[in-house]
């Protein structure tokens, strides 16, 4: 639970789909939105704002009513691996702001809008309250606290078919530290998945490439039939972000 991108500053021509040749003798107009650094605002914040304003996935998320560009990542992963099926019971860890839940609800038929199809359930967990999403059950819960797995199974009325996580620890600014933090978070999510997943279930989680994820890969390969590492098209090319998709939980 996505896509091509046209290079900024290039205007597509008509007819054959090729860019029009510039015959004016001047450079083509730069179509990117540029943001000046305001007094009191850090340069990094200005760069982030400029990147957001020029990100086609951010614009698309607004048009389609998703709460963030991350929705397109889980769309692409599910299009490829087909784990969000009607009737599936899903746990979304660190679900804020809710984009992954938004994608999952219609795919698992949580609202029962697909006649003749099984009705699924999705439980979203986060440390903070999330604005309601029709078809999703949202709970404020630290999934690492004692007894969290039992609460999840009680809310679902049984075990889950999918545990997914787009969580990332707060950035420290130090690349290796951030890598270690997100791998540790992913390992904790995997441990919960081992407790709540039904046999044959799927685990999907975000990690950052950096070398320390080898232990996580080994752990998952011991418990799942297949483990794949995927970088969706919606992930920024300059990001070390990737997603692990583990299918066929052995129980």
Residue-wise pLDDT for 8-18, tens only, equals 333 333 344 44
E strands along 78-223, which residues?
Answer: 89-93, 121-126, 137-140, 160-165, 197-208
Answer yes or no: do 79 and 146 share one domain: yes
Instruction: Round to whole Å and give the CA distance between 228 and 230.
Output: 6
Answer yes or no: do 197 and 231 share one domain: yes
The answer to the question of whether 166 is labelled as a binding residue is yes
Answer yes or no: do 47 and 117 share one domain: no
- For 72-94, give the secondary structure using H, E and C: HHHHHHHHHHCCCCCCCEEEEEC
- For 1-19, give the secondary structure using H, E and C: CCCCCCCCCCCECCCCCCE
**Amino acid 33: pLDDT:** 44
Residue-wise pLDDT for 63-116, tens only, equals 887 888 899 999 999 999 999 999 999 999 999 999 999 999 999 999 999 999
Which CATH number is 151's domain given?
Answer: 3.40.50.150
Answer yes or no: do 160 and 110 share one domain: yes
E strands along 136-183, which residues?
Answer: 137-140, 160-165
Q: Which residues of 176-197 are buried (b: 16+ CB within 10 A; e: fewer)?
A: eebbbbbbebbbebbebbbebb
Domain range for 190: 71-249
Active site residue 206: yes
Is the residue at 20 inside a domain? no
| Number of domains forming the structure of the chain | 2
Average pLDDT of the residues in 134-154: 97
Answer yes or no: do 45 and 87 share one domain: no
Answer yes or no: do 107 and 132 share one domain: yes
The answer to the question of whether 225 is labelled as a binding residue is no
- In total, the chain counts a number of residues equal to 251
Answer yes or no: do 90 and 184 share one domain: yes
Answer yes or no: do 121 and 59 share one domain: no
The answer to the question of whether 100 is labelled as a binding residue is yes
Residue-wise pLDDT for 32-51, tens only, equals 444 455 555 554 444 544 45
The answer to the question of whether 48 is labelled as a binding residue is no
Selecting among 73, 206, 221, 226, the annotated active-site residue is: 206
Answer yes or no: do 49 and 155 share one domain: no
Phi, psi of 34 (to 5 degrees): -105, 140
Answer yes or no: do 40 and 161 share one domain: no
């Amino acid at each position: 639970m996505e896509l091509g991108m046209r290079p900024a500053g290039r205007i597509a021509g008509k007819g054959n789909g090729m860019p029009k040749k510039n015959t004016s003798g001047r450079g083509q107009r730069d179509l990117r939105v540029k943001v000046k650094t305001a007094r009191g605002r850090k340069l990094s914040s200005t760069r982030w704002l400029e990147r957001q304003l020029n990100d086609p996935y951010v614009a698309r998320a607004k048009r389609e009513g998703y709460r963030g560009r991350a929705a397109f990542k889980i769309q692409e992963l599910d299009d490829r691996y087909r784990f969000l099926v009607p009737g599936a019971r899903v746990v979304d860890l660190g679900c804020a702001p809710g984009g992954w839940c938004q994608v999952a609800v219609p795919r698992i038929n949580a609202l029962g809008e697909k006649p003749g199809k099984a009705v699924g359930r999705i439980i979203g967990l986060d440390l903070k309250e999330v604005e309601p999403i029709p078809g999703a059950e949202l709970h404020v819960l630290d999934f690492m606290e004692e007894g969290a797995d039992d609460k999840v199974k009680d809310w679902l009325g049984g075990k889950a078919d999918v545990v997914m996580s787009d969580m990332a620890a707060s950035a420290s600014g130090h690349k290796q530290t951030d890598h270690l933090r997100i791998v540790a978070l992913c390992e904790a999510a995997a441990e919960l998945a081992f407790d709540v997943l039904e046999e044959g279930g799927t685990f999907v989680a975000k990690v950052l490439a950096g070398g320390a994820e080898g232990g996580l890969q080994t752990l998952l390969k011991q418990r799942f039939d297949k483990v794949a590492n995927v970088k969706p098209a919606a992930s920024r090319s300059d990001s070390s972000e990737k997603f692990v998709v583990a299918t066929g939980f052995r129980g």
